[in-house]
Amino acid sequence: MLTNTAPIPNGLRNTSAGSVCEVMSLWDVTTVAEINWKTAKRIDKKYLSKLVTSLDVLSPQKIGVDEIAYRKGHNYLTVVRDLDIGSIIWVGETGQKEALDAFFKELGEEKCSRIQVCVLDMWDPSIASVREHTHAEIVFDPEEWKTAR
C-alpha cells in the first residue's frame, strides 16, 4: 500500500506522493505512481494537512484577505494569509462575508484584537467583516487600485 511517505515508482525515488502533488496534478500523480485517483487525493489531503498551522498556535498581527475563484461559474474561496510569516493560515469555502466572519470567530476575540493591519480588496462584505471583528488598519490591495481606476 502506498502511504504518504512511500516512494513513488518509475524513477522518482526519494520522493513522497504528497510532495509530488505540489508540482503535479493529481491525475499525473495517479499515472506516475500507478495508484487510483481516490488514493492520490487522500495522500494529498493528508500531506497538505501537515503543512497547515493551527490557529491555536498563531496570533497574526498583519493579515491579507483575498477571494479566489475556482471551478467554472461563481465559486469562490476566502483565503487568509499571515503576512509576517508569509503563509496561508485559513481557507473558507465561500467568498461571502460569512466565511471571513467564521475565520475571526475561529481565531477568537483576543487574537482578533491583536490584528493591526489587514490588506484586502475593495469588497464591501470583507471590509465590513474586518471592521466588525478587529480594530485593524485596512490597506487596500494595490492590484485593486489598478483595476478600479
| Domains, in order of start, for the chain | 1-51 (no CATH), 55-148 (3.30.420.10)
pLDDT > 70 in the chain, percent: 74
39-55 tens-digit pLDDT: 877 877 777 667 667 88
DSSP string, 25-70: -HHHHHHHHT--HHHHHHHHHHHHHHHSPPGGG---SEEEEEEEE-
Q: How far apart are CA 149 and CA 145, in angstroms?
A: 6
Mean pLDDT of 99-105: 95
6-63 tens-digit pLDDT: 544 544 444 565 566 667 777 887 888 788 878 877 877 777 667 667 888 899 999 9
Per-residue pLDDT band for 145 (boundaries 50, 70, 90) equals: very low
